[in-house]
Amino acid sequence: MKRQPIEYSSDEKITAAEFVDLLKRSTLDQRRPVKDPVRIQKMLDYGNILITAWSGDTLVGVSRALSDFSFCCYLSDLAVDQAFQRQGIGKRLIEETQKVAGEYAKLILLAAPAAVSYYPKIGMEQFPHCFIFKEKPTRKKVGSRQAAVGKGSTLGTEQ
């Protein structure tokens, strides 16, 4: 049976269920909150770049990113169905993400352990000076406000 050509889209919305299904078929589910549909939905709602790859009606790849469209673009999720890997889909998803992010935006990502050797093969440079705060299971509250920086934060200003 001949496979259908892969079609890419930068304006196709997907559901949380479709996203989770693809994450499972790509093994990225091992590092994503797939059992928390509220968080998955927020991931889709608040990412500002979503590139999808389709084989007919089947979602076979996703690039989900956050960008300022000028300086940097964080590629948060790059998932390709295992049955469709090694066909250039991941590379094409990255290229399409770069197009949408803009010519000056640097593409930044954290590689899944199994994919560390993939990115240099497609021309990405490994950068050793990356730092991360791991997610915390609960956030401490200070008074009536959460102790987290966000909209309306007065952190760093005198009151």
The pLDDT tens digits of the residues spanning 84-100 come to 999 999 999 999 999 99
For range 111-119, the mean pLDDT: 80
pLDDT at 118 over 80: yes
Mean pLDDT of the chain: 85
> What is the Cα–Cα distance from 15 to 41, expressed in whole angstroms?
8
Would you state the pLDDT for residue 101? Answer: 96
Instruction: Give, in order, the Cα–Cα distances in Å from 8 to each of 11, 33, 112.
Output: 9, 25, 23
- pTM confidence score: 0.78
**Mean pLDDT, to the nearest integer, of 49-68?**
97
User: Quick one: pLDDT at residue 139?
Assistant: 58
Amino acid at 89: I
Model confidence at 154, in pLDDT bands (50, 70, 90)? very low
pLDDT for the residue numbered 88: 94
Which strand (E) or helix (H) includes residue 73? strand 72-80
Q: Determine the average pLDDT of the residues in 127-136.
A: 79
Q: Do residues 73 and 108 make contact, with C-beta atoms less than 8 angstroms apart?
A: yes
pLDDT of 127 strictly over 90: no
